[in-house]
Amino acid sequence: MPARIDFRDALRVKPGSRVRLETTDPAATFGYDKASAASVTQRQLDRLADLQDRFWAEAKRSVLVVLQGIDAAGKDGTIRKVMDAFNPMGCTVTGFKVPTPLELSHDFLWRVHPHAPEKGSIAIFNRSHYEDVLVVRVHEFVPEAVWRLRYGHINDWERMLTDEGTTIVKFFLYIDRDEQRRRLEARRDDPTKTWKFKAADLAERALWDRYIEAFEECLERTSTQNAPWYLIPANRKWFRNLAVSRIVAETLDRLNPEYPPPEPGAKDLVIE
């Protein structure tokens, strides 16, 4: 078993730092192998189940988990493998797809804010408000002068949420281009995954360099003290699950949720 790594420190994008994804190893495992990671991950999932139960019962604060990554980076898999530890009664998952005409007729945060978590709840965003400085930028859906302002709008919105009692944890799942090709081929060839494969995926893949540039600036401009990004090496799914589960568990643990006390006199009531 490797020495315990503080993933909250090792994988956190420090505010104000430069981000160059080419210097990050997407296959890094920090000394873990698949076997050793499995037992550690299971412990984190058990820990998450207990922490979330207390967090939901306490109902004083909320948590927002944001998942971003290039196509096939593993957002769905992370939700399926890691967030399965949560009781659905206290957890919501929202996937943000192409905006509807109604959504486009409002400001870019309008469609996102209603899905922010209520007190006691954990909300998971599969893609998010960050699409408006990523895909919108890459495809030039709005002028640069418009999307550049959105970094500040996002930081201000997230600061408002944290001021109101929401803890925000953001994960960028990083895979390399070869791994994306393997995963897209698996989608194409596996009958259980073919439904996820679309010709448009290949058009998006052709824009790889532009997406990487957009991701780098996004991480640089929006990783803040109150809403940090974590850069997760995600070529190996089992390490991705380990890192994300541990960071979320440690985030909840630091909040130290507690079961609320019984109402006065409850223990003296007789149940006939």
Q: Which residues pair with 95 in a beta bridge?
A: 126
> How many Å apart are CA 122 and CA 166, to the nearest integer?
9
> How many Å apart are CA 151 and CA 15, to the nearest integer?
13
Give pLDDT tens digits for 90-113: 999 999 999 999 999 999 999 999
Read off the amino acid at residue 104. L
> How many Å apart are CA 16 and CA 39, to the nearest integer?
35
Give pLDDT tens digits for 162-174: 999 999 999 999 9
Give pLDDT tens digits for 122-156: 999 999 999 999 999 999 999 999 999 999 999 99
165: left (phi over 0), alpha (psi -120 to 50) or beta: left
Nearest C-alpha neighbor of 72 from the set 194, 184, 193: 184
Q: Give the Cα-Cα-Cα angle 250, 66, 102 (nearest 5 degrees).
A: 155
Quick one: the chain helix, strand, coil %, rounded to 5?
Answer: 50, 10, 35
Give pLDDT tens digits for 229-271: 999 999 999 999 999 999 999 999 999 999 999 999 988 899 9
Chain Cα centroid distance, residue 68: 6
Per CATH, domain 8-254 is 3.60.20.10: no
Owner of token pair 């909320």: 62
Q: Are 230 and 11 in contact, with CB atoms under 8 Å apart? A: yes
The answer to whether the predicted template modeling score (pTM) of the entire model surpasses 0.75 is yes
The 10 Å Cβ neighbour count of residue 42 is 14
> How many Å apart are CA 111 and CA 226, to the nearest integer?
22
The per-residue pLDDT for 1 is: 64
> How many Å apart are CA 44 and CA 114, to the nearest integer?
30
What are the structural domain ranges in the chain?
A: 8-254
